[in-house]
Amino acid sequence: MSENQKTIEFTITTSRDQLVDKTIEEIKKHTYLDPLFDAAFKALLSDEEALVNFLNGVFHLKESNKIESVVIKNSEINVIFPAVKSFRLDIRATTSNGIHINVEMQKAKPDYFVDRVLLQHSAFMLQSKYEWDQLNFGNLPTNLTKEQRATREIHRYEVPPTYAIWICDFPISEQKNFRGDWAVRSKEGLTLSDKMMYILYDLTKFNKTFEKIVTAEDRWLYLLKHAGKAEKLPNFNDSVIAKAIHRILVNRASEKLIKDQANDMVWTEEELDRWALLEVRAEQKAIAKGHKQGLEQGLIQGLEQGRVEMALDMLSNNEPIEKIVKYSHLPESKILELKASLSGYATK
């Protein structure tokens, strides 16, 4: 490595614990916890009353067929999952009318996002099928009657309705509007089964102002999008929403909840993989540019450009400054300069 290349390296000695502590300090400067991160998202919605209110809004249910109650279940999935991490859903529940629900908050877009939705839903459906079978046939005696065997055979491959709701804080290129309703359909548009439904929300396309908020669906999406930066949130004269907002007030949150939130905001194993991928891509761009412009100078410029792109990506996801410095290897002054340029662009 040349001397010029060495000058663009930026060594960070900040430990994870230090980053968590700094993030806690930043969190305490805000009015609300940001529900775009898991801990606050679950505090906001992993409550039976709030979840019923939210789901009735999502499904646009009228008074006569509204969901009356839900049972919130363990978020772990006991299925062998092909990933290098433990597998948990954000919120898993069963409604009073027998629908199995998975609600996910996704802050950053992974490669193969749609594949992830399908893969996760497959595991969720298998877990739901197992629990449904246990409920209906788990207590049958060993010496089954002819009628019991016949009933079990009829329902052997029956699956309960499984609906997945993904709330995404990134552009979903596959859909034009903030909401997309997806299902398994034929080329002619015929639905193969109405027992599987995917509802994808793109918060970057949800731009309704407070004055335009009408439905329960609008209210929850408005809260999810704006809570992290708001000084005061509207409760829309809804006691359930008022209680939910109260649960994410920073000055009311427990130290454990705040620390969990900070841990979510610093990094997870999945995020470590993502930032490593961004760094590898930055290096690859540098090498490609080096071949075009003369290897040494091109490598320096290309690596710098890749790191800037990585920092901009992280800034757009509201990552803490210390975290961006650590992964982009850019000095804090450069990160702040990029942040200021983004803010200036947003106001134009």
3-state secondary structure 12-76: CCCCHHHHHHHHHHHHCCCCECCCCCHHHHHHHHCCHHHHHHHHHHHCCCCHHHCCCCEEEECCE
* Neighbouring residues of 83: CB distance < 8 A, sequence distance ≥ 6: none
**Distance set, CA 201 to CA 139, 280, 326, 334 (Å):** 40, 30, 31, 33
Write the DSSP symbol of residue 231: S
Closest alpha carbon to 310 in 279, 343, 287: 279
Q: Domain map of the chain by residue range?
A: 3-20+269-347, 32-248
Q: pLDDT (tens digit, 9 = 90+) per residue, 4-16?
A: 433 333 334 456 7
* Neighbouring residues of 73: CB distance < 8 A, sequence distance ≥ 6: 92, 93, 94
Q: pLDDT (tens digit, 9 = 90+) per residue, 185-205?
A: 899 989 899 999 999 999 999
pLDDT for the residue numbered 252 = 95
Q: Is the pLDDT of residue 344 over 60?
A: no
Q: pLDDT (tens digit, 9 = 90+) per residue, 84-138?
A: 556 789 999 999 989 999 999 998 887 889 999 999 999 999 999 999 999 888 8
- How deeply is 27 buried, as exposed, middle or buried, from its count of CB atoms within 10 A (0-12, 13-18, 19+)? buried
Q: Is 114 in a helix, a strand, or coil?
A: helix
pTM: 0.78
Bigger pLDDT: 302 or 236?
A: 236
Can you say whether the dihedral through the CA atoms of 331, 337, 342, 346 is positive or negative?
positive
Count other Cβ atoms within 10 Å, centred on residue 190: 7
Q: pLDDT (tens digit, 9 = 90+) per residue, 43-94?
A: 999 999 999 999 999 999 877 789 999 999 988 887 776 665 567 899 999 9
Q: Where are the beta strands (DSSP E) in the chain?
A: 70-73, 91-95, 100-106, 162-168, 179-182, 196-202
Which whole number is the average pLDDT over 167-179? 93
* Neighbouring residues of 153: CB distance < 8 A, sequence distance ≥ 6: none
Number of helices (H) and strands (E) in the chain: give both, helices first: 13, 6
Q: Is 84 in a helix, a strand, or coil?
A: coil
Count other Cβ atoms within 10 Å, centred on residue 323: 22
Grade residue 330 by pLDDT with cuts at 50, 70 and 90: confident
